[in-house]
Structure 1
Amino acid sequence: MALEKFMKIKETLLGVDIGYDSVKIVALRKGNGFHQLRSSNIIAIPPKSLQQKSADLDKIAEAINTARKTARPRISEKLAVSGLPESKVFTKIIQVPQMTDEELKTAVPNEAARHIPLSLDEIYLDWQKLGENSKNSFDVLVVAAPKFLVENYLVLFKKVNLELIAIETKGIAASRSIIKKGEENTIIILDIGAEATGISIFDLGSIKFSYTIPHGGNTLTKSIAAALKMTNEEAEKLK
């Protein structure tokens, strides 16, 4: 079931964002026809905790549980959604000839393999047909994520007794909150994290380009510290 449809029928949802060095959670409750913020919290975790094959899932699970317990009001929602870090996910628009949906199941992985620097055995692959590119072809949005990363998420959410109903890239997730339905302008979304910045370009409501720059908030903090001859902690507060 598409996340948009799921949100229409569910009264409560929990959003869990596992970033470079923190866990952020928000609890949403439906009211007046749309979801409203009920509670939120943020807890620090060791850098790159979930982005490694040897991730310490117990520490991250402890952080999520602490965030839920110490939030005010306390967070009890069980249905959760989360986003994969753009720096670890491959997002690409590919063109394929006109064909049936059944033929796409073979054609898309074969074409995607030419653009993704990992073997198909190492990734989970998903795609969505966007529309006609010309009379003879159409655009397909392809998203690929390393299996170890997705499996880390699945194991982690089981550890904290949350039902993970949806997981997608942060850029696409952000677009749902920012871009209005029927938007005709081209929109650029910048997701500035601690270690990387995700750039996503949307046109007519569909993603057209995605790229990650290996510089984020920490780069700015270090630059401020060097320029003003202060510690990183002082620069972080100034920033």
Structure 2
Amino acid sequence: MYYLDKYNGVKNLFKKNIISIDIGKYTTKIVIGKGKNKEIIIDHVFMIDTPPESYEDGYIKNLEAFKTIIYNILSKNKIKEKEVICTVQSREAITRELVLPYVKSDELSSMIDLEIEQYLPIRLEEYVVEYKILEEFTENNMNNIRVLVAALPKDMVEIYLELIKSLKLKPLALDMNANAIAKVFEGELTINNENYSLDKTVTLIDLGYEYINITIIDKGVIRFNRLIHQGGKDVDINIANTYNLSLEDAQQRKIEYANLEELNGLSSTSMLNEIVQSSVDIWIEEIQKIFRYYNSRHRGNKIDEIYLYGGSSNIKNLSKYMTDNLNIPTFKINEIDNIKLGKNSGEINLEKCLNAIGALIRR
């Protein structure tokens, strides 16, 4: 999905370094990289605290604060690249899969607009709408086309455009997190030293600070995306209230000491583990609802594997706990073979930067 500058004549991986920015409620990720021989080469990764009360549900609330922190990090590190992609996640983003009669490409946009006006509860003039062709197929002797449609509020898109231009940078695209991460899984690759099979239906779960983003990929094609209004923040609040800690200290205690394999014990962390477990159980319940809905849509729909990323994927033994409770093999993403580190990149928290990295792939 491309918003700021549709397609821009660019396809596949960029062959020169591009700045990719993923703004989150808690952390803003800036990745600078390019494509080379089907690989993504990451030259720089910067993770900076998002200014307090400056970002909410996809909206930049304090443009000057973001302009300052991004300018400072790029200037301090002598970053010369000028072209920028941003990726965004919001409850106000609307994604739908539509099946339409096959038409020529110059007629497709008009048909999609008619479908949106008829079936979606939005005023079309207030949204930027883009689409991605998923497949063409024949059914009952009719030629059809399946498209993924995404719509973002215009005022949200415009503030990203204003931010980039205020930095005297060139906007290339505004991508959606679900689309960005899905592109990483569109081809053959190795995850955690194991081959990823395009024959499987996998769910990518971004365990973010405010939201859990669920994206279902079937045979390399994005089929479904939903946001759950739960996340690491809920765990942190419960820990902070129990132990009288700040949210920052609660988050640190969660990652350092919580372990979902040490439940119902007598250790000093037993209460902490139970607090984390109670939140994770709520996540699992919401995920199961989404899976039931997805499986009910078409006969034969079934989730084969789950991959976790995002900050809360670092909770110890979370993947095993989810495997046991969802009865679906679940893995935390630690390594992807076609994502390579350049000489200047340093250490990289892959699980926190995947949305920004995926946005570097232009399909």
Residue number in structure 2 paired with 1:237? 252
The two structures, once aligned, show a CA RMSD in angstroms of 2.6
- CA shift in 2, pair 1:133/1:93, >3 Å: farther
Secondary structure at 2:159 match in 1: helix
Secondary structure at 1:87 match in 2: coil
Greater shift in the superposed pair: 108-117 or 140-149: 108-117
Residue number in structure 1 paired with 2:47? 42
- Residues 49-70 of structure 1: per-residue CA shift (max 9 Å, x gap): 2657783211111111122234
Q: 1:202-221 maps to which residues of 2 (within 5 A)?
A: 202-221=217-236
Shift of 1:101: 2.6
One-letter code of the match for 1:168? Answer: D
- Residues 134-153 of structure 1: per-residue CA shift (max 9 Å, x gap): 24333211010000011011
Within 2, Cα distance between the matches of 1:198 and 1:133? 32
User: Does residue 1:89 correspond to 2:104, yes or no?
Assistant: no
Shift of 1:99: 2.8
Shift of 1:3: 8.4
Q: 1:164-179 maps to which residues of 2 (within 5 A)?
A: 164-179=171-186
Within 2, Cα distance between the matches of 1:28 and 1:11? 8
Does the 8 Å CA contact 2:54/2:60 hold for their aligned counterparts?
A: no
Q: Which runs of 5+ in 2 are unaligned?
A: 1-6, 189-196, 255-363
- CA shift in 2, pair 1:2/1:223, >3 Å: farther
User: Does residue 1:78 correspond to 2:82, yes or no?
Assistant: yes
Secondary structure at 1:88 match in 2: coil
Match of 1:145 among 137, 152, 167: 152
- CA shift in 2, pair 1:118/1:133, >3 Å: farther
Within 2, Cα distance between the matches of 1:11 and 1:53? 29
Q: TM-score, normalised by structure 1?
A: 0.86
User: Does residue 1:12 correspond to 2:27, yes or no?
Assistant: no
Within 2, Cα distance between the matches of 1:193 and 1:20? 9
Within 1, Cα distance between the matches of 2:240 and 2:68? 32
- CA shift in 2, pair 1:110/1:42, >3 Å: same
Does the 8 Å CA contact 1:88/1:146 hold for their aligned counterparts?
A: yes
Q: Which runs of 5+ in 1 are unaligned?
A: none
Higher strand share: 1
Q: TM-score, normalised by structure 2?
A: 0.59
- Residues 76-119 of structure 1: per-residue CA shift (max 9 Å, x gap): 22111111214331111012223333332222111123443321
Match of 1:157 among 159, 164, 178: 164
Q: 1:26-41 maps to which residues of 2 (within 5 A)?
A: 26-29=31-34, 34-41=39-46
- CA shift in 2, pair 1:180/1:154, >3 Å: same
- CA shift in 2, pair 1:48/1:187, >3 Å: farther
How many residues were matched structurally?
A: 236
The structure with more radius of gyration: 2
Secondary structure at 2:199 match in 1: coil
User: Does residue 1:126 correspond to 2:130, yes or no?
Assistant: yes
Does the 8 Å CA contact 1:94/1:139 hold for their aligned counterparts?
A: yes
Within 2, Cα distance between the matches of 1:14 and 1:167? 12
Secondary structure at 1:183 match in 2: coil
